[in-house]
Amino acid sequence: MLELTAEQRDIKQAAREFAEKEFTDIARELDANEKFDDNIWKKAGELGFLGMFIEEKYGGAGLGHFEQCLVIEEFARVDTGIAQTMVAAYFGTQLIKLFGTEEQKQKYLPPVCAGKWRAGMASTEPDAGSDVAAITTTAVKNGDEYVISGNKMFISNANIADFLVVLCVTDPQNKKKHDRLSTIIVETDRPGYEANKLHGKLSIRCSDTGEVVLKDVHVPKENLVGKEGKGFYQLMDFFNRARLDGGGALAVGTAQGAFEKAVNHVKKRKAFGGPLGRLQIVQAKIAEMATLIEAGRSLLYRAAQKVDHGEVDHALIAMAKWYTCEIAVKVADEAIQLHGGYGILQEYNVEHYWRDAKVLEIFEGTKEVEKVLIGKSILGKV
Ligand SMILES: Cc1cc2nc3c(=O)[nH]c(=O)nc-3n(C[C@H](O)[C@H](O)[C@H](O)COP(=O)(O)OP(=O)(O)OC[C@H]3O[C@@H](n4cnc5c(N)ncnc54)[C@H](O)[C@@H]3O)c2cc1C
């Protein structure tokens, strides 16, 4: 099941070549300047790398989440920040694909797949991150419209997205807190939409992250995704897809990129009369790193392939998300260690893997939250 088909190998190879050609020379500059180059989105869209799991009739490649993972893994191997901006471009389309109306799919999905529009998903608020159901942004029905008010925090693409899928409270009186929520598409050019960029991030610095203020933003009732009251459950289904490429694949690629830098370095760097790689403790470190990556990759591929075969195993997805992100931090840390002092110099092009890996343990569900999900799934109600 885990062997790649010839087509999947070709996709992975094409993504590798694209990333090496388009990312290598500009990645460090984009990271330093907290900027992105829109041409990369356009080119990635033209080559069909964005929203590959979206049906062809809506502009996607008609493939699976697994193929999307293969591509994002290769992108992150070169640069995690740029890879994450690619994920962010179609972040939220998974939810529209699953629950949107025909009109919504026709309107919002094709321009995202083509690299012309940028999407986004806004659930987190200043006082509600892991505790999603505690959000307070409201959407009040007013005739044929919803009027949306509230604040969102840490939103990818907040300043540059064309639209966001926003999690709102539509039924504040409902006694079941999970049934109070709905998802609504908000175009960012609507009056009352404001965003502020968050500067000075440790990780994925070229990716736009911002605060969003929604001040009485009017959207037509047709922008509701699916049914009212289903927002929390839709979000969980969304995360069961988005965590694969936006968590696991970013992590496996990051670990792989850092690992390759370490392997090259220990083959070249001389100490105690020969290359570092001749020392058995160095060999052991390389062996451990390779094994962690292989284990993480296997877990991710299995979780993604199951989703594409119609079996959404949320505990397995949570295992893949938590484990791959944790090993990305460990492998990147060891890669710096094996470089010695050179590892902390930007010039050696390895320190960014560790900086970028850290955020992977936080967004798309923190590692603690993933473990809560796994534990609950195993133990049930105790
Ligand atoms: C760069 C970046 C981009 C992001 N992009 C988006 C985006 O596009 N859209 C969006 O909606 N959000 C986005 N986020 C938000 C991200 O999903 C949240 O930061 C994350 O869910 C954690 O929420 P929090 O920051 O409020 O931390 P908190 O929820 O306050 O958690 C703080 C700590 O407490 C732990 N904790 C919380 N609950 C439990 C529990 N039950 N058991 C054990 N430990 C627990 C957490 O694991 C964490 O270690 C982004 C974040 C970052 C940093």
112 lines ligand 1 (CB under 6 A): no
- Is 364 an active-site residue? yes
**CB contact at 8 A, 251 and 365:** no
Which ligand 1 atom sits closest to the C-alpha of 128?
26
The most distant pair of C-alpha atoms in the chain lies apart, rounded to whole Å, by 80
Pocket test for ligand 1, best of 34, 85, 121, 154 (most atoms within 8 A of CB): 154
Which ligand 1 atom sits closest to the C-alpha of 88?
8
DSSP label of 246:
I
Distance CA 52, CA 74 (A): 15
**Taking residues 277-286, what's their average pLDDT?**
98
pTM: 0.98
366 lines ligand 1 (CB under 6 A): yes
154 lines ligand 1 (CB under 6 A): yes
224 lines ligand 1 (CB under 6 A): no
pLDDT per residue over 21-51, tens digit each? 999 999 999 999 999 999 999 999 999 999 9
Domain ranges of the chain: 6-113, 121-229, 233-379
**CB contact at 8 A, 117 and 163:** yes
Query: Residue 382: pLDDT band by 50, 70, 90 thresholds?
Result: confident
Give domain 6-113's CATH number out of 3.30.70.1060, 1.10.540.10, 3.90.550.10, 3.30.950.10: 1.10.540.10
Which of 328, 260, 365 has the alpha carbon at shortest distance from 20? 260
Span 121-229: which CATH code?
A: 2.40.110.10
pLDDT per residue over 67-79, tens digit each? 999 999 999 999 9
182 lines ligand 1 (CB under 6 A): no
What is the per-residue pLDDT for 221? 98
Common-topology check for domains 6-113 and 121-229: no
Catalytic residue among 73, 74, 334, 364: 364
Give domain 233-379's CATH number out of 3.40.50.150, 1.20.140.10, 3.10.20.30, 1.20.1070.10: 1.20.140.10
pLDDT per residue over 115-132, tens digit each? 999 999 999 999 999 999
Q: Which residues pair with 121 in a beta bridge?
A: 165
pLDDT per residue over 176-204, tens digit each? 999 999 999 999 999 999 999 999 999 99
Which of 254, 248, 258, 253 has the alpha carbon at shortest distance from 363? 248
Average pLDDT, rounded, for the chain: 97
Those residues whose C-beta lies under 8 Å from the C-beta of residue 247, and which sit 6 or more positions away, are 320, 321, 324, 325, 360, 363, 364, 365
Pocket test for ligand 1, best of 362, 364, 372, 373 (most atoms within 8 A of CB): 362
pLDDT over 90 at 292, yes or no: yes
* Phi and psi angles of residue 215, each rounded to the nearest 5 degrees, phi first: -110, 100
**Taking residues 99-123, what's their average pLDDT?**
98
- Determine what percent of the chain is predicted with pLDDT higher than 70: 100
What is the per-residue pLDDT for 200? 98
Which ligand 1 atom sits closest to the C-alpha of 157?
8
What is the per-residue pLDDT for 101? 98
Residues in the chain: 382
pLDDT over 70 at 1, yes or no: no
Alpha helices in the chain (DSSP H): 6-22, 27-33, 38-46, 65-78, 80-89, 93-99, 102-113, 231-243, 250-268, 280-308, 314-339, 351-360, 367-379
